Amino acid sequence: MTSLLESLRQHTTVVADTGDFEAMRAFKPTDATTNPSLILNAVQQPAYQHLLVETIKQNPKANAAELNDALLVAFGKAILDIVPGRVSTEIDARLSFDTQASIERARQIIQLYEQAGIDRQRVLIKLASTWEGIQAAKQLQSEGIQCNLTLLFCLAQAVACAQSKVTLISPFVGRIYDWYKKEAGAAWDEAANAGVNDPGVQSVRQIYNYFKTYDLKTEIMGASFRNAGQILALAGCDLLTISPALLNELSTQSGTVTAHLDAQTAKSQAPEWQASNEVAFRTDLNANAMATEKLAEGIRLFIRDAVALDKVIAQAKEQA
């Protein structure tokens, strides 16, 4: 009997949302994504501490930022030894509102990958979907550096990314769900807001329908899932990045997955064309309380974990 995971692969490219190499080997995703939180968690596990030790030894004169980038690339290189496709490596969230610094940091990361023998086509640079992050991605894409725009919560962000010709966007399903559930409080009806009715699922569906209607080439990768129902409701999306726990759940259940998203259905619904410029972006984002709050919160959390990772690296350097 076919597992739900194998059936899902018939409709969608499966990506592993983890820094755990063994999980990648077990579930055989096409691509893998990382972020500061995942790397912080991984580097504190005994199985991965050798990467930190080796990075420090190989870069004895590097400053904190350089060591951070070198460590991210060390993880990325090891991941690319496992997955056949691409790895996403995230720019320091502290640069989320600094276009030029983000561009320079991305160039440095790509240079490190290329020095390690990795083709830049196998790397996606992750940036927060702020206006500044999107403008950085626009420049990087013109240089042949592919980008993955993360912390994306609404159509305004998605359209701005597509207009900038970014390779891929990562709309966050679970965090949208979290916001609406918290906002509703005791009035929240889980059953009525599950599956295709989940607010996070509906947000990705809106983006998908818009992109397919207007033949926008930017890939859509649903991310940040809270349950398997959200994943199955987005079968047919270009890509879905899934945690090891949910990959395991899908792999141990048998069944057939039906695609809920497809380009022809999207085009038949023909959503209205949206203007995209800085004023429209900031106006629409500001009008969306959920997107505004979750974007700010996500950046704060990634900064928190980036600072914590700096401390882990500094402590390891002192002990080296």
Question: Looking at residues 295-305, what average pLDDT do you find?
Answer: 97
CA distances from 268 to 142, 154, 203, 209, 286 (A): 32, 21, 18, 9, 30
Is it the case that residue 84 has pLDDT exceeding 90? yes
- List the domain boundaries for the chain: 4-319
CATH superfamily, domain 4-319, is Aldolase class I (3.20.20.70)
Tens of pLDDT, residues 24-79 = 999 999 999 988 888 899 989 999 999 999 999 999 989 989 999 999 999 999 99
In the chain, what is the straight-line distance between the N-terminal and C-terminal CA atoms, in Å? 51
The pTM for the full model equals 0.96
Average pLDDT over residues 195-216: 97
Catalytic residues: 126
pLDDT tens digits, 90-137: 999 999 999 999 999 999 999 999 999 999 999 999 999 999 999 999
pLDDT digits (tens, 9 = 90+) for 245-260: 999 999 999 999 999 9
Q: What is the pLDDT of residue 269?
A: 82
Average pLDDT (5-13) is 97
